[in-house]
Amino acid sequence: MRTTLNIQDELMRAAKKQAAERGTTITKVIEQALRDSLARGKNTRAGYKLRWQTTRGKLLPGVDLTDRDSLLDRMDGRG
């Protein structure tokens, strides 16, 4: 498939250099880099740590159950 990409000059120079060193095309260098990157993404998961906070059945200070946005912020660690 043909497509157009905007690639930083420095990155393109490095790809051209690597292609020349390997005796291959820039397309093959970029395809392999993309394959490698996608394969790594399949094997890694973003770290997520669940922090439990309990107060014996009471609301934590500052929690307002009627304020949805505040609750979402707090659950996302922004509150």
Tell me if 35 is assigned to some domain. yes
Tell me if 24 is assigned to some domain. yes
> Tell me, what's the pLDDT at 33?
95
The values of phi and psi at residue 71, to 5°, are -65, -45
Q: Please write the tens of the pLDDT for every residue from 17-70.
A: 999 999 999 999 999 999 998 888 776 666 777 777 777 777 777 788 888 888
- Name the amino acid, one letter, at 41: G
Structural domain for 25, as ranges: 9-43
Tell me if 13 is assigned to some domain. yes
Tell me if 59 is assigned to some domain. no
Tell me if 28 is assigned to some domain. yes
pTM of the model as a whole: 0.51
Tell me if 77 is assigned to some domain. no
Q: What are the Cα distances from residue 51, in Å, to 66, 71, 74?
A: 22, 15, 12
Tell me if 37 is assigned to some domain. yes
Tell me if 66 is assigned to some domain. no
Please state the rounded mean pLDDT for residues 9-17.
95
Give the total number of structural domains in the chain. 1
